[in-house]
Amino acid sequence: MRSIHQRGPVRAQASLTPMIDVVFLLVVFFVAVSQLVDRDRIDMDLPSPSPSAAHQPEDGARAVVNVLPGPEGTSIGYQVDGLVFAADATGQAALVNHLQDRLEQSPDLFVNVRADRGTAWGWVAPVLGAARGAAAMAGQPMARVRLIVEPGAMQQ
């Protein structure tokens, strides 16, 4: 049985409202994700390796420890996973405990250390000691530590 429309033949129309909704949700998603990716990045003047033995690190579990630069080569603390630890003995002990927890969760964790070019080595060394102490407390023979340098200066 054929039905006859009084207004003429039926034309199919597409509604753009659902497509606009989906595009808006995608924009919101990518904005939120891009902010999560940059959470561990702090603007620093990273050193560039002169005889480059650096290579691109492989993907895997990592904890990025930022040595927060202070005035005249000092440090005001350490930041990892969005947490800030003081540069004193109490903050370093808390950093060891935090790294130990991360190492117990993922034993193949790499500790990436980022420090400003002007920061004295004496402020970076406690991070290496904290990683070593955390590995020992987590029952691992050694810590996997990588010093992060300026990405544009690395050679393959």
The two three-digit tokens of residue 14, written as one number: 């597409």
The two three-digit tokens of residue 124, written as one number: 């970076």
156 residues of the chain, pLDDT tens digit each:
455 656 766 677 778 888 999 999 999 988 877 765 555 566 666 666 665 555 566 677 888 898 888 888 888 999 998 889 998 989 889 999 999 999 888 888 888 888 888 888 888 888 888 888 888 888 888 888 888 766 544 343
53-84 residue pLDDT tens: 555 666 778 888 988 888 888 889 999 988 89
Which residue bears the tokens 């010093």? Answer: 147
Q: Rounded to an integer, what distance in angstroms lies between the CA atom of residue 140 and that of residue 107?
A: 8
CB 62 within 8 A of CB 108: no
Q: Which pLDDT score is estimated for 15?
A: 83
Q: Rounded to an integer, what distance in angstroms lies between the CA atom of residue 83 and that of residue 81?
A: 6
91-101 residue pLDDT tens: 889 999 999 99
CB 134 within 8 A of CB 96: yes
Give the CA count within 13 Å in the CB-facing half-sphere of 40.
14
Q: Which pLDDT score is estimated for 117?
A: 81
Q: Which pLDDT score is estimated for 25?
A: 93
Write down the number of H helices and E strands in the chain.
Answer: 3, 5
List the domain boundaries for the chain.
62-153
CB atoms within 10 A of CB 44: 18
Q: Which pLDDT score is estimated for 12?
A: 73
Return the DSSP state at 88: S
Against a cut of 0.75, is the pTM above it? no
CATH number of 62-153: 3.30.420
Q: Which pLDDT score is estimated for 54?
A: 53
The two three-digit tokens of residue 13, written as one number: 């129309």
110: helix, coil or strand?
strand
